[in-house]
């Protein structure tokens, strides 16, 4: 499905249900769970509770968030999906073979 046809904000990291635009969702307060690459989101606090024993947090709580509107999400999406510039290629390896003199 294309981004323009998306009907939900994200999927729950636990039960995989869709989290709709402008709906309430929860995130873990622990920094390793809410990093950009990890980005765990939960549709209910029950789904967040399922996540706790797996991650073995010492002290954690669920923080309530509100999903953006569809229009706001589409405006922000190209900024997040921007392709990276290609890395420069290293010079070709040249063999250091010397002729025996």
| Cα–Cα distance for residue pair 46/24, rounded to 1 Å | 14
> pTM for the complete prediction?
0.65
Q: Which carries the bigger pLDDT value, residue 81 or residue 39?
A: 39
**Residue 2: C-alpha distances to residues 7, 19, 23, 93 (Å):** 10, 17, 21, 43
- Output the pLDDT for position 15: 93
Q: How many domains does the chain have?
A: 1
Distance CA 29, CA 39 (A): 11
- Pairwise CA distance, residues 91 & 74, whole Å: 40
At residue 2, the pLDDT reads 52
- Between 6 and 8, residue with greater pLDDT: 8
Q: List the domain range (segments joined by +) for residue 19.
A: 8-70
Q: pLDDT digits over 23-78, tens only?
A: 999 999 888 887 888 888 999 999 988 887 777 777 888 899 999 999 898 888 76
What confidence score (pLDDT) does residue 68 get? Answer: 92
Structure tokens at 74: 């589409």
Residue 26 lies in a domain: yes
97 domain-assigned: no
Token pair for 50: 């399922």
35 lies in some domain: yes
**Residue 60 domain-assigned?**
yes
Q: Give the pLDDT mean for 5-21.
A: 90
Q: Does the residue 63 lie in any domain? A: yes
């Amino acid at each position: 499905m294309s981004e323009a046809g998306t009907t939900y904000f994200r999927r729950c990291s636990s039960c995989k249900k869709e989290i709709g635009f402008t709906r309430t969702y929860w995130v873990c307060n622990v920094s390793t769970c809410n990093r950009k690459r990890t980005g765990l989101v939960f549709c209910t606090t029950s789904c967040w509770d399922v996540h706790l024993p797996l991650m073995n947090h010492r002290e954690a709580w669920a923080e309530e968030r509100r999903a953006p509107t569809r229009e706001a999400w589409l405006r922000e999406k190209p900024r997040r999906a921007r392709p990276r510039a290609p890395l420069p290629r290293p010079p070709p390896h040249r063999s250091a073979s010397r002729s025996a003199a």
